[in-house]
Amino acid sequence: MMDFAKINIEDLIPHRDKMILIDEIVEITPGYSITSSTVNKDWPLLTAAGVSSLILIEVAAQSAGVCNGWDRIREKGIESSKMGWLVGIKRAEFNRDFIPLGSEIVTRSENFNKYDNLRITSSVSRIDGDIIAEVTLQLFQAPNDC
């Protein structure tokens, strides 16, 4: 069994450079992940008021990707395909419009339905313990032979 502390975020999700919004993997299992992200000036959707809360959909998707990437590595090895997932938004509720620069967002994403290359995930994002978003996503990954 591989220790997740020795895994880079780039090993788990297909994003690179400025599109990686996850700064730290706090906890990871085959069923859920907890990640930490700090809003910075390079984030998409930045305005003078802060970053639009819509970005929390992408944070939820990347947090879910961390969990499912870990599952992939455990089953198929670290060199297995890092192909991304198509994401559908089933539900998204936000408790604020903007998130200030420097805010630390802690997101817990959990697979509550898993079948082959389909996942339904539920994510909760918090700042200082307060819920700022709840997002349910449908994830689909094309088979490697497509």
CATH at residue 129: 3.10.129.10
Q: Is residue 33 assigned to a domain?
A: yes
Q: What is the rounded distance in angstroms from the CA atom of residue 52 to the CA atom of residue 49?
A: 8
Q: Is residue 145 assigned to a domain?
A: no
The average confidence (pLDDT) of the chain is 88
Q: Is residue 26 assigned to a domain?
A: yes
Q: Is residue 103 assigned to a domain?
A: yes
Of 124, 67, 66, 133, the closest CA to residue 95 belongs to 133
- Domain encompassing residue 66: 4-140
| Confidence grade of residue 104 (pLDDT, cut at 50, 70, 90) | very high
Q: Is residue 122 assigned to a domain?
A: yes
Task: For residue 3, give every residue at least 6 positions away whose Cβ sits within 8 Å of its Cβ, in sequence order, or none.
Answer: none
Full-model pTM: 0.90
Count of structural domains within the chain: 1
Q: Is residue 146 assigned to a domain?
A: no
pLDDT at position 2 over 70: no
Dump pLDDT digits (tens) for 36-85: 999 999 999 999 999 999 999 999 999 998 888 888 778 887 777 777 78
